[in-house]
Structure 1
Amino acid sequence: MVIGIPKEIKTMENRIAMTPGAVETLVRQGHRVLVESGAGLGSGCTDEQYTQAGAELVDAQKAWSAEMVVKVKEPLAAEYGYLREDLLLFTYLHLAAARELTDALLAAGTTSVAYETVKGRDGSLPLLTPMSEVAGRMATQVGAHFLEKAQGGRGVLLGGVPGVNPGMVLVLGGGVVGANAVRIAVGMGARVTVMDVNHARLQYIDDIYKGRVITMSSNEPNIRAAVQQADLVVGSVLIPGAKAPHLVTREMLSTMKEGSVIVDVAVDQGGCVETIHATTHDAPTYEVDGVVHYGVANMPGAVPRTSTFALVNQTLPYALRLAAKGLDALREDPGLALGLNTYQKQLTCPAVGDAFGLDSLTPEQALA
């Protein structure tokens, strides 16, 4: 199969979908790999390394002309013209928060497989997990930075010092993102509360931290009370493929401390904070009611070297199967089939259909 690796064009997105080592593996298995010149520089991967691995250096149009295009982030409007009926697109999509992209994929008839809805045999999200780990750890780190007075925050050091209380961190959601945010917050010495609807998850976190983390059931009264005390709120709610529910409302903001910070990692699925909207690395924050909002939708792009290698570790086995077998790879693996979001001008992710009121099929129905 001919596989294209275009350069990411999202603002300050420096990741690349395949490392030189991954390209070498694809080439050794008989595939032709087209890498856009300069695509890997942000991750420390040079054109020379890609040519040594067997790739052909091309321009963007040539990379997008491949049978299968592997990316990191969703196509932007400037790339919609590359979408076509005989293209297999393998990347993060997050369509439930992207109606324009959904319409573009459907109109073009592109077969799109989204990393974030692929499931493992154990029900995990193997292609979302590595970036969730990065984003979760970054969320606390970023939040601590924007709590500094010079960054618009209230001037709180999360770890405190002897004689002065540490900052308070509220983590909404105890999944992969939330657990990693908690890990860094505890390491910094903050006082940490995590909320989740899954009691077993709260039990796990309580066991791990031996009472150092407060665990609470996630419901409106608890959230309303907790945000009033928090210096940093980390939104880490995930419903796979679907739009995130608004847990922190506009009304709650008025009760929060001036200069407190919200980092909503769920922003690429619409966000779990009512007042959040997507921002970029070059303009990451804005204020609403005196509360600093951080809504960068590609947080791991700020640490591209770590993120690229972590992502490719997980995506390469799936890319190899898709390259070798095409759609048969989906038919043979129900978990991979769940990644199918659009196929033959049909929406094949019911959660996205629910978000936009569109008709949809299940991947199983579409592939049949």
Structure 2
Amino acid sequence: MIVGVPKEIKNNENRVGMTPAGVFELVKSNHTVYVQHTAGLGSGFSDQDFIDAGAHILPTIEEVYAISDMIVKVKEPIESEYALIKPEQILFTYFHFAGSETLTRAMMKSNAICIAYETVEDPDGSLPLLTPMSEVAGRMSIQEGAKYLEKTYGGLGILLGGVPGVPPAKVLILGAGVVGIQAAKKAAGLGAQVTVMDVNMKRLRYINDVMANNVITEFSNEYNIRKNIQTHDLIIGGVLVKGAKAPKLITRDMLKDMRPGTVIVDVAVDQGGCFESTVATTHQDPIYIIDDVVHYCVANMPGAVPRTSTLALTNVTVGYVLQIANKGWKDALDQNKGLALGLNVVGGECVYPGIMEGF
């Protein structure tokens, strides 16, 4: 199979869909890999690194799409890429279709085979291709939130961990999944007072067992959320519904209950966001302020740490890429039911229930 790795062109997206190590594995299995010129530079991989692994370098994104049977990316195609996609071409990437009906309809119109990283499942129901980026985003949410609590950016002017004689910041985390646990770990390590909320008591019990004493848990419902947002300085939204739009846990009217300078970070922005006031932003222009509340809603947070993110992502994607390349997409999906759940669009139709219900 001919596999293409184009350069990511979303704003400040420096990750790349495959490392030289992944290229090496594909070439070893007698597949041909074309990588766009400078595609890996943002992640610390030169064209020569890919050539040494057996790839061929092409100068333009148009040439990569034109020659490839399968495109391996990181982020969803943006509008300028829609016309480059060929009928029956396999696209393997993060799509987050539930966050964009425009993208969904464009991929249906293209007649491509769209396999989404974020809905591939393991037998236990976990999401192996989403997990590493959720780990990165969860940790980054605290890093970025701590920065935007600075008065310079409109925040409360609070140091996350406090100092002797001065109490630390209070961090509220909505969701006890991968994002929530990583955010809690990072915030607790910096000395903040952390509250984690979820509707899953098993997850709350787990957090209660393994986290430090400065992390407490509370059952998530509207009453408790409304109460906590009045006293917490940094709020992290990390709720995920597989393949579907995230629930709106903080509504627009709730912003007025927060103190001026509160910072909210919506890690679920790719899935439509779990705050009603969420609007996707970029690394170039990451924040906006509504009702004196600082919103950080960058849609590709891990793109800011591309070296770490690319290595973490391709550690888990390469095996699936090999399955598709070795067997063809139909046989690969027939033989791997978890991979089959990644099929979102095929034959001009959307086939993933959560997306269809969302629109």
CA offset digits 1:307-365 (Å, max 9, x no partner) = 00000000000000001111210011111000000010111111000111xxxxxxxxx
* Preserved contact between residue 34 and residue 62 of structure 1 (Cα < 8 Å): no
- Determine if the alignment matches structure 1 residue 10 to structure 2 residue 10: yes
Structure 2 distance, partners of 1:201, 1:335, is 23
Q: How does 1:253-264 map to 2 (within 5 A)?
A: 253-264=255-266
* Preserved contact between residue 84 and residue 110 of structure 1 (Cα < 8 Å): yes
Structure 2 distance, partners of 1:83, 1:218, is 43
**Deviation of the 1:84 alpha carbon:** 2.3
Structure 2 distance, partners of 1:82, 1:29, is 27
Structure 1 distance, partners of 2:302, 2:144, is 11
* Preserved contact between residue 262 and residue 294 of structure 1 (Cα < 8 Å): yes
Structure 1 distance, partners of 2:348, 2:237, is 33
**2:335 alignment partner in structure 1:** 332
**2:282 alignment partner in structure 1:** 280
**Deviation of the 1:40 alpha carbon:** 0.3
Match of 1:349 among 344, 348, 352: 352
**Deviation of the 1:212 alpha carbon:** 2.8
Q: Secondary structure at the match of 1:254?
A: helix
How many corresponding residue pairs? 356
Amino acid at match of 2:116: A
> Gaps spanning 5+ residues in structure 1: where?
357-368
Greater mean deviation of Cα atoms: 147-156 or 178-187: 147-156
* Preserved contact between residue 192 and residue 214 of structure 2 (Cα < 8 Å): no
Amino acid at match of 1:11: N
Amino acid at match of 2:104: T
Structure 1 distance, partners of 2:161, 2:310, is 30
Q: Secondary structure at the match of 1:86?
A: coil
* Preserved contact between residue 245 and residue 271 of structure 2 (Cα < 8 Å): yes
Structure 1 distance, partners of 2:101, 2:284, is 24
**2:226 alignment partner in structure 1:** 224
TM-score (norm 2): 0.98
Amino acid at match of 1:245: P
Amino acid at match of 2:64: A
**1:176 alignment partner in structure 2:** 178
> Gaps spanning 5+ residues in structure 2: where?
none
Amino acid at match of 1:330: L
Q: How does 1:1-368 map to 2 (within 5 A)?
A: 1-58=1-58, 59-65=60-66, 66-209=68-211, 211-326=213-328, 327-356=330-359
Task: Give the root-mean-square deviation of aligned CA atoms.
Answer: 0.7
* Preserved contact between residue 244 and residue 355 of structure 2 (Cα < 8 Å): yes
Amino acid at match of 2:281: T
Amino acid at match of 2:5: I
Amino acid at match of 2:232: A
* Sequence identity percentage: 55
Structure 2 distance, partners of 1:117, 1:53, is 30
Q: Secondary structure at the match of 2:83?
A: helix
CA offset digits 1:28-61 (Å, max 9, x no partner) = 1100000000000000000011111111101211
**Deviation of the 1:211 alpha carbon:** 3.9
Amino acid at match of 1:24: F
Structure 2 distance, partners of 1:212, 1:86, is 52
The runs of 4+ residues in structure 1 deviating greater than 3 Å are none
**Deviation of the 1:210 alpha carbon:** 5.0
Q: Secondary structure at the match of 2:344?
A: strand
**Deviation of the 1:109 alpha carbon:** 0.9
